[in-house]
């Protein structure tokens, strides 16, 4: 049986080994919104995605605790670029509302 420490190691590996990474759950409306934006800009395929939505509830929680311990965030979704938190749905909404998403995506190397 895996421990939280095992999940923390896996979380670190996922973040560090993928330039573009996101933590999501398929049942999460904010994740669905964020994926729709990434799809709209044709960049979703550039992301390695860990979708915890179909895992047992206790395993979902263990993943979220592990990400909180490693990054300080357990938010769904959380987008990481170059090993750092780049955005959650709040930042995506703000960038969309401010009409700056294309510039932000270009700056991040997505466009």
- Domain harbouring 10, CATH code: 3.40.30.10
**Contact present, 108 and 81 (Cβ < 8 Å):** yes
Question: Residue written as tokens 């263990």?
Answer: 62
9: domain range? Answer: 4-107
Residue 1 banded pLDDT, cuts 50, 70, 90: low
**Contact present, 33 and 4 (Cβ < 8 Å):** no
Tokens (6 digits) for 77? 């979704």
* In the chain, alpha helices (H): 4-17, 29-40, 57-71, 89-97, 101-107
In this structure, the number of other CB atoms found within 10 A of the CB of residue 63 comes to 22
pLDDT for residue 76: 98
pTM for the full predicted model: 0.93
State mean pLDDT over 28-36: 97
Q: Which residues of 81-99 are buried (b: 16+ CB within 10 A; e: fewer)?
A: beeebbbbbeebbebeeee
Residue 16 banded pLDDT, cuts 50, 70, 90: very high
Domain tally for the chain?
Answer: 1
């Amino acid at each position: 049986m895996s421990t939280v420490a095992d999940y923390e190691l896996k979380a670190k590996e996922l973040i560090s080994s993928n330039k573009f990474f996101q933590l999501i759950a398929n049942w999460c409306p904010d994740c669905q919104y964020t994926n729709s934006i990434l799809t709209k800009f044709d960049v979703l395929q550039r992301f390695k995605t860990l979708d915890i939505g179909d895992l047992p509830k206790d395993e979902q929680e263990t993943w979220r605790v592990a990400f909180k311990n490693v990054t300080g965030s357990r938010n769904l979704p959380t987008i990481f670029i170059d090993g750092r938190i780049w955005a959650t749905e709040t930042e995506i909404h703000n960038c969309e509302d401010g009409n700056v998403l294309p510039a932000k995506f270009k700056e991040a190397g997505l466009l």
